[in-house]
Copies of this chain bind each other. A is one copy, B any other.
């Protein structure tokens, strides 16, 4: 019944089995002949722990984390069903991404932007009248040129930083950690917004197909985020497998439609744009086509470039040779995007398609309808588009946790973010991203689509810092081909800086101000965490003090007891097992009850000394602390060990009826110098 039972009054070690910390129990036995002895080695629990190669080393097996009993086993089974069995650290390389999966994971974000990029450009241009819509194609071309510049320069960056070419790393390394943190803060916010925006955009695309689910869009969004989270918790390789299908489906469907459209146009057979019945022309405004409007239209398409940063951040996720595979994937992602984006822009301008003023039809659906009619092709294209819009979130799920792990490694985020979970995924980052994105979705009732231009800003700030960092690097190092590198990254810096300014100013009141407010706040938090970790290292690290073993004096052991019961008796027994002069202390406001306790004391507690501290003001903690002070005044060097008996109830809610005073006492003692607290739990309901 008692968790530990009396075995013997004596404390002679000979009476108690000696414990071997390496779990080898050597049994000495006499042989048959006199003087003959042999040693047998027993290793308990060989199924959970194995002996390692070095002296004093044990290796835990998978069984140590698998619960085998009770409700916890059920939780473990559910967990295995949801995210799979734990993966051994040695399998890390095996869990990396192939180029095909890498393209799907890291490019779903920018490939999805081909679905709405041309439309966003057209809508801005339409403000100056439908006469200027012909500019869509040149602007799309300009974006592809910019993408080419950025891709080229990031190919260099990936080569230079083969262990992860995140803007954070490049900027930290070349421009100083402040710029690195600025890039990181901008990217973190960008990734969170990306999740919320793309999921809500995807759900909006779904609700336009199935208007009946419109009222539940918040919960559908939340469930989608949770599903993507689960997929990512299964590890990057499996999430690549899961999310590859919709990405390639979109690519194949769209390439097919574009090829078909271009072929028909080339053959001179241009189908007429017949607007569907619910189509409305875009409202005309008095805006004239100026530089600002062109720049705004251009910045609408610039979201396409975000995938470049995504791949650079994720270099370590690729199979070796990591940087080569990442570079190849980057190039392919740029080509796929360019073909889709220019193809769509070409077809819509050539077919004379105009955006729907009522926003009931997307430009893409109008294009598909014009080319292939109102049938199966349109439905397939719509579903593929909705899926890839949702999956754009997955890029953030691949990058946010990895960037967080870089930040945690350098002490800018809590260490948990650098810890790989059972499936080698950065669990904390994945869960944190989901939580913030879900909060955003619920807060904005899943209509955050207006924030689309907003997240471009963060990425372009990071781009500019990364390119600027590379510029500084070329200039300092003057390695082979530094002039060409300087030219490419210089062009990249200039381009991305201009886009960042355009995006920031043209969307300032539409949401960019929020990024401009949040980025510095997040920077302050990141740098505060970093200062804390540095202070802590300064305070704790052994390097700042003399080597040598530390020796502590024997503690003064006291056992505060509220009443004479079995947990108290057990705590006293424990105290006596580690000290020859332990004292029980009873703080009370009821002298009569204390007298009774003193009377029964010898019968129940033997020779252990009892001190009664009467508290006429009914406080418990103050008098106990005063008593501890008085004890320590007698022996200032000795710490006080406070042995607390705690009752472990049957149900968790019963804790509300207990241990409140113990909890307050522990908080006070935690802050007290030279004080150690030992908890002796009492489990009456366990056999």
Contacts and interface: CB of A to CB of B under 8 A. Distances in A.
Interface of A: 2-9, 11, 13, 16-23, 25, 44-45, 48-49, 52, 54, 56-60, 62-65, 86-90, 414-416, 419-422, 529, 532-533, 535-536, 539-542, 545, 547-556, 558, 564-567, 569-570, 572-574, 576-579, 581, 583, 587, 589, 594-595, 598, 603-619, 622-623, 625-627, 629-631, 633-635, 637-639, 641, 646-650, 654, 656-658, 660, 666, 670-671, 673-686
B535 A650 contact: yes
30 contacts: A3-B639, A4-B553, A4-B674, A8-B553, A13-B554, A16-B638, A17-B638, A19-B635, A54-B595, A54-B612, A58-B614, A59-B613, A59-B616, A64-B625, A65-B622, A86-B619, A89-B616, A414-B657, A422-B618, A532-B649, A533-B657, A536-B649, A539-B685, A549-B608, A552-B570, A555-B578, A673-B683, A673-B686, A676-B681, A679-B679
Nearest to A608: B549
Contacts of A45: 626, 629-630, 633
A252 to B, nearest CB: 38
Given A617-B62, A647-B536, A16 B629 contact: no
A639 B578 CA distance: 12
Given A612-B52, A678-B641, A680-B676, A551 B617 contact: no
From A419, A535, A614, A675, residue with most partner B Cβ within 10 Å = A614
B556 A576 contact: no
Contacts of A657: 414-415, 529, 532-533
From A25, A565, A577, residue with most partner B Cβ within 10 Å = A577
Contacts of A416: 660
Given A565-B542, A630-B23, A577 B552 contact: yes
Contact of A617 (B60, B529, B625, B656): B60
Contacts of A54: 595, 598, 612
A577 to B, nearest CB: 4
A634 B44 contact: yes
A37 to B, nearest CB: 20
Contacts of A420: 589, 618
A622 to B, nearest CB: 4
Nearest to A603: B547
Given A44-B630, A619-B64, A639-B574, A614 B86 contact: no
A554 B627 CA distance: 27
A607 B7 CA distance: 30
Given A54-B595, A536-B684, A547-B603, 15 more contacts: A7-B553, A52-B612, A57-B612, A57-B613, A60-B613, A60-B615, A62-B617, A64-B625, A89-B589, A421-B618, A532-B649, A541-B566, A542-B604, A551-B576, A673-B686
Contacts of A21: 558, 581, 583, 609, 611, 631
Given A45-B629, A54-B595, A545-B566, A19 B634 contact: yes
Given A612-B52, A617-B65, A6 B566 contact: no
Closest 5 CB pairs of A and B: A549-B606, A60-B623, A539-B684, A65-B622, A17-B635
A22 to B, nearest CB: 6
A647 B533 CA distance: 12
B583 A634 contact: no
Contacts of A581: 18-19, 21
Contact of A618 (B18, B89, B566, B567): B89
A626 B19 contact: no
Contact of A552 (B536, B573, B589): B573
Contacts of A556: 19
Nearest to A91: B616
A570 B579 CA distance: 19
Contacts of A569: 542, 549-550
A654 B532 contact: yes
Contact of A3 (B539, B619, B674): B674
